[in-house]
Amino acid sequence: MPDDSAPLDEHDTLPPSQDPHVGGGVEEPPVTLGGILGRIGPGLIIAGSIVGSGELIATTKTGAEAGIALLWLIVIGCVIKVFVQVELGRYAVTHGETTLAALDGLPGPRLHVHPVIWLWVVMMLCTVGQLGGIVGGVGQSLAITAPITGDYRDAIAVPAKHEFERYLRWKADEQKGHPALAKLSDEQQRRVRNGQRIFEEQLAGLGTRGEEILELVRDGDERADELIEPWTYDDKYWATIVAVVTAGVLFLGRYNFIQNVSLVLVVSFTFITIGNVVSLQSSDAFHVPWNDFVRGLSFGAPERVGDVDPWAMAIATFGIIGVGATELVAYPYWCLEKGYGKWTGERSDDESWASRARGWMKVMHFDAFLSMGVYTVATLAFYVMGVAVLFKEGRDPDGMRMVSTLAQAYVPVFGAYAKWLFLVGAVAVLYSTFLVANASNARMVTDALKVLGVVAHNDEKVHYRWVGILSVALPLTCMAVFWTGANPVTLVKIAGFCQAIFLPILGGAAIYFRFNKTDERIAPGTLWNVMLVLSSLGMLLAGGYGVWKTFG
């Protein structure tokens, strides 16, 4: 059995109710399939956090920008991280340590704590910005569905500034005989022409107002910005209401409530989206041919059009889809709160402990892989939807028009009812992410304060007092971020980039825990070890590419 170099009192930050080192609470693991399924849950909570910013926003936007070419990256991004997820969970359950406490015990120099902890702090700040974008998406959806003043709904009737600029470039190229357009593939040419057709229809709907804005953009007049991107209040009023409600729900709620709400919200909208994709495949105009799916899985590269860099969005998407870095850190917290660690008991040389540990690890495997199936199917559905509709129509969801553009992906199947169907679903899936992510963050930040020595390690009352305080403070902070007027998609992309950078650190930590800290009585086999190493290498490549694209 490996020897743990870190003393228990330094890295044991669990409250007594979750701590396997505290006596009592040991349970034998279930052996039947029904019994195992009755004890899963942490993965479903994580799935509730995943199917929102990554799938609805980042994945659909990647499909809209890159087309089918990056399907392979989406599949790998979902599947590859689950091995690191389980390994971090294995360490937490069998050692009775949270993720941050475990990372603080990694070998290397220290700056009061391990430098990895400070990197996590930076990622967490970016995550708060991401959730500001998420609550903004909920606010946008509600501002369209139930306007208070109507200012937001009026504002998004005007196309975005980059669409005006793209149209002017198109007209200039048209006057020259389309030399720039001729350099693109047939597929990209169709996409550009569709985008211009849709823009002209929007412009015609605005009448003289649209022509006035077009002239201002052509002249480089700053007054165009005020007309295209006006300050609106409806979306921010609704975001405030959502944040306040979330703060109250999280302050009063506990594990089972969060698990059940996230499950209902995610499953309902995921089924709607899968149905939409199936229906799109049966239509002549929007179906994606099967040979395109084959091409999408052939490790090809997307074609760049104009100022849109689909690779930049793809790397951010890789960092955030499936189990992102934030969810990888959070997963062991939910495993411990569910009771896996307490039920396994304090690690010992007794064979009874090893038998229980193997049994509860089996439950965790079911939990992690079942949730992976849920979010992989959802991710692929969102991506194909972005390819089938938004990419073909030359649309690109962004800024204050993010939600209204995403809603267009449902129009070909659901017609006039598409907007309402999508908006209800968008509220469900985005709110699920906002709710679960803030619940996870409240627990992780509380633990970070313990690791940093600010909060007592093993005091039950202090632990839940801080979880309650942060359950209120974090949603309100996210709301304040959205009130700054920051672009929701940009916030999500920044967070995705930060998570892509942190992924190889977690992959390396998982390998270290596996080969230096894992009790050999519960060690996985050779195939698992190979997949764990490949998973970590994939995370390293994604993080390295993200750094190169940014600073190279």
5: in domain: no
DSSP per residue, 277-336: HHHHHTSTTTPPPHHHHHHHTTT--PPPBTTB-HHHHHHHHHHHSSS-HHHHHHHHHHHH
**pTM score, whole prediction:** 0.83
CA angle 478, 482, 484 (to 5 degrees): 120
Are residues 307 and 405 part of one domain? yes
Q: What is the pLDDT of residue 272?
A: 72
Are residues 535 and 427 part of one domain? yes
* Residue 113, phi then psi, degrees to nearest 5: -125, 175
Last residue of a domain, one of 178, 206, 228: 228
DSSP per residue, 499-547: HHHHHHHHHHHHHHHHHHH--GGG---HHHHHHHHHHHHHHHHHHHHHH
Q: What is the pLDDT of residue 552?
A: 52
Last residue of a domain, one of 196, 212, 228: 228
3: in domain: no
104: in domain: yes
Are residues 495 and 454 part of one domain? yes
1: in domain: no
Are residues 215 and 269 part of one domain? no
Q: What is the pLDDT of residue 385?
A: 78
* Domain region containing 447: 17-152+234-551
Q: How many domains, in total, are found in the chain?
A: 2
Q: What is the mean pLDDT of each run of 10 residues along the chain (552 residues)?
A: 45 91 90 94 85 66 80 85 94 95 94 94 91 86 88 88 87 86 78 83 89 92 88 94 93 77 73 75 78 86 66 66 84 95 94 95 95 85 79 67 64 58 70 88 96 93 95 96 84 78 92 95 94 89 67 54
